[in-house]
Amino acid sequence: MTYCVGVLLDEGMIFASDSRTNAGIDNFAKFCKMTVFERKGERAIVLLSSGNLAGTQAIISVLTQRGEDPDNKASLWKARTMFDMANLVSDAMRDIERRDGPSLEASGISFNASFILGGQIRGEGQRLFRIHAEGNFIEAGGDTPYIQTGETKYGKPLIDRVIVGSTNLADAAKCILVSFDSTMRSSLSVGMPIDLICYERDSLEIRMRRRFAEGDTYFTSLHQSWSEGTRRVFRELPALVW
Amino acid sequence: MTYCVGVLLDEGMIFASDSRTNAGIDNFAKFCKMTVFERKGERAIVLLSSGNLAGTQAIISVLTQRGEDPDNKASLWKARTMFDMANLVSDAMRDIERRDGPSLEASGISFNASFILGGQIRGEGQRLFRIHAEGNFIEAGGDTPYIQTGETKYGKPLIDRVIVGSTNLADAAKCILVSFDSTMRSSLSVGMPIDLICYERDSLEIRMRRRFAEGDTYFTSLHQSWSEGTRRVFRELPALVW
């Protein structure tokens, strides 16, 4: 499993991903699931990966290689809009599935890469997509300003209660980190380090990126403050009269 | 789906269940999933049902009928301990599965009744069990003082943060109701009314039982206070320094 979140706010965007990768419960490791494609002042794009690691890594390598080739029309540096960028990711996914899918199926495994893609390209606004394993995708909007993948349920109520489009970046970042804390308490399939990016709208560059590893001072203080705050709110809730 | 919770506290026990029953998303109805077997001063037992309604209703009818027959050794009124009671529920489950299972399987459906069983019988302490669909069961203890069934993930982080064995009944009841609120926000498969029982240890009777229907004044105030309290705690969390 995995836990990734992308949030689309008036002030900017937030991206966060865990790092746990596992093949069974007796074989787990850490891999960063966050990839940044950035040309300052021109485009700032973040891709969060979920699913089979061989698949997601191959897709990212294909995207990177196509981008390095100046003659390739499918270069991510040439995508005019985030919609075009989503299509490039989708095309790379289908290419890799075409290559690896039949061999995986022969072993009873299905190709299951999926992505959260977000960011901004000069000339248009910020956009956020969830690209399904089949390569089709949805775009976040005003009604639901965030997208989760993987182990989504533990952290969802919190996000639903706190985040709306007008939430400021600092509050939303804290909320997303607490949603990771809630998820990691309950699911061994999600683990640190957590990678976090806060993107400021129209900046066209990634200025705030941080990794929270096991024992991180800030993350620990957040965990404690939230636990204490929650218990306090409970004590202050109106009492039930029987 | 369903959402049921049983909690075992030093002060007593809490039981809560939703009422949504559905056969597909275009056919849903309300059924109470909470059954009480009580003889004041002698035993107070609560059974929360999850799974196929025909199965759980049949099992409860079998338990009730066996209890009404004074010659039946498998009467729930004769069970000496809660462990014996759990075995009676398990036996009734297996009897119904033996009867209905093959016909269900012929239609590609599996028999999937399961229960949370808790309460107290004079002569022993309070006990809380989760009886799996196969009829085997686990008992809650000090490390994990609660049991959930059904749509468990949305409400779990909250319970994990607030409830320990020493939590008082009033706080725990509020916490469980908020966990229902969180779950219902995210899952259409869980719905009101919510049935709630708070059992006071060694009372051997159910003195506090309440049903919360759509628009319930207390439940609505709880929902609002919790949402506002949560947002306040977020604002007060330590800010992330980049």
For an interface test with B, give the residue of A161, A171, A218 to mutate (most B CBs within 10 A). Answer: A161
Are B156 and A186 inside 8 Å of each other by CB? yes
Judge whether A186 is closer than 8 Å to chain B, CB to CB.
yes
- pLDDT of A27 > 90? The answer is no
| Chain A interface disruption, residue of B231, B234, B235, B236, most A CBs within 10 A | B234
Q: CA-based Rg of chain B, rounded to a whole angstrom?
A: 19
Q: How confident is the model at residue B152 (pLDDT cuts 50, 70, 90)?
A: very high
Distance from CA of A163 to the nearest CA of B (A): 9
Q: Residue B5: how many CB atoms within 10 A of its CB?
A: 29
Residue A133, classified by CB atoms within 10 Å of its CB into exposed (0-12), middle (13-18) or buried (19+), is middle
| pLDDT for res A77 | 97
Token pair 């999600």 is at which residue? A190
User: Which residues of chain A have a CB within 8 Å of the CB of B185?
Assistant: 157, 160-161
Q: Total structural domains in chain B?
A: 1
Q: With a cut of 90, say whether residue A22 has pLDDT above it.
A: no
Residues of A in contact with B234 (CB under 8 A): 162, 171, 174-175, 178
Q: Is residue A242 part of a domain?
A: no
**B241 lies in a domain?**
no
Local structure of B87: helix, strand or coil: helix
Domain for residue B79, yes or no? yes
- Band (pLDDT 50/70/90 cuts) for residue B44 is very high
- Tokens (6 digits) for B26: 């275009």
Question: What is the distance in angstroms between the Cα of B130 and the nearest Cα belonging to chain A?
Answer: 19
The pLDDT of residue A23 is: 79
Find out whether A189 and A20 touch, Cβ atoms under 8 Å: yes
Task: State mean pLDDT over B12-17.
Answer: 98
Does B142 have pLDDT greater than 90? no
Contact status, residue B50 vs residue B150, Cβ threshold 8 Å: yes
**Residue B242 belongs to a domain:** no
Residue A118, domain CATH: 3.60.20.10
- pLDDT digits over A42-54, tens only? 999 999 999 999 9
Give the torsion sign (CA, B42, B48, B54, B55).
Answer: negative
Query: How far is the alpha carbon of B16 from chain A, nearest alpha carbon, in Å?
Result: 14
Question: Does A154 contact B153 at a Cβ distance shorter than 8 Å?
Answer: yes
* A-to-B residue pairs, Cβ atoms closer than 8 angstroms: 122
Written as six digits, the tokens of B132 are: 């799996």
What average pLDDT does range B93-122 have in this prediction?
95
Q: How far apart are CA B183 and CA B153, in angstroms?
A: 8
Using DSSP's 3-state secondary structure scheme, residue B86 falls into helix
Looking at the complex, does the CB of residue B171 fall below 8 Å from at least one CB of chain A?
yes
Strand partners, B146: B7
Percent with pLDDT over 70 in chain A? 100
Per-residue pLDDT, A16: 98
From A208, A226, A241, residue closest to B233, measured CB to CB = A226
**C-alpha span between B133 and A120 (Å, rounded):** 50
Q: Give the residue-averaged pLDDT of A18-23.
A: 90
In this structure, is residue A61 part of a structural domain? Answer: yes
State the Cα–Cα distance between residues A11 and A199, nearest whole angstrom: 9
Q: Is B96 in CB contact (< 8 Å) with chain A?
A: no
Question: Would you call A153 and B158 a contact, using CB atoms and an 8 Å cutoff?
Answer: no
Mean model confidence pLDDT for chain B: 95
Give the three-class secondary structure for B155.
coil
Range of the domain at B223: 3-236
| Cross-chain Cβ contact B230/A158 below 8 Å | yes
* pLDDT (mean) for A159-165: 92
Nearest CA in chain A to B231: A162
Q: What is the pLDDT of residues A184-223, one digit of tens each?
A: 998 999 999 999 999 999 999 999 999 999 999 999 999 9
pLDDT of residue B26: 83
Is the pLDDT score of B1 beyond 90? no
In a domain, B51, yes or no: yes
Smallest Cα–Cα separation from B177: which of A238, A178, A42?
A238
The pLDDT, as a whole number, for residue B191 is: 94
Region of residue A155 (left: phi > 0; alpha: psi -120 to 50; beta: else): alpha
Measured between alpha carbons, how far is A4 from A116 in angstroms, rounded to an integer?
8
Residue B207 has a pLDDT of 97
Q: Which amino acid is at A27?
A: N
| CA end-to-end span of chain A | 43
The answer to the question of residue B37 being in a domain is yes
CA distance B132 to B136: 6
The owner of tokens 């059904």 is B150
Is residue A221, in this structure, part of any structural domain at all?
A: yes
User: Do residues B102 and B139 make contact, with C-beta atoms less than 8 angstroms apart?
Assistant: no
Instruction: Identify which of A9, A215, A148 has the alpha carbon closest to the alpha carbon of residue B153.
Output: A148
pLDDT per residue over A170-195, tens digit each?
Answer: 999 999 999 999 999 989 999 999 99
Residues of A in contact with B159 (CB under 8 A): none
When pLDDT is cut at 50, 70 and 90, the band that residue B119 belongs to is very high
The answer to whether B218 contacts A241, with C-beta atoms less than 8 Å apart, is yes
Task: Tell me whether A239 touches chain B (CB under 8 Å).
Answer: yes
Q: What is the pLDDT of residue A13?
A: 98
DSSP label at residue B166: T
Give the separation between CA A205 and CA A37, rounded to whole angstroms: 10
Select from B143, B154, B117, B140 the least CA-distant residue to B43. Answer: B117
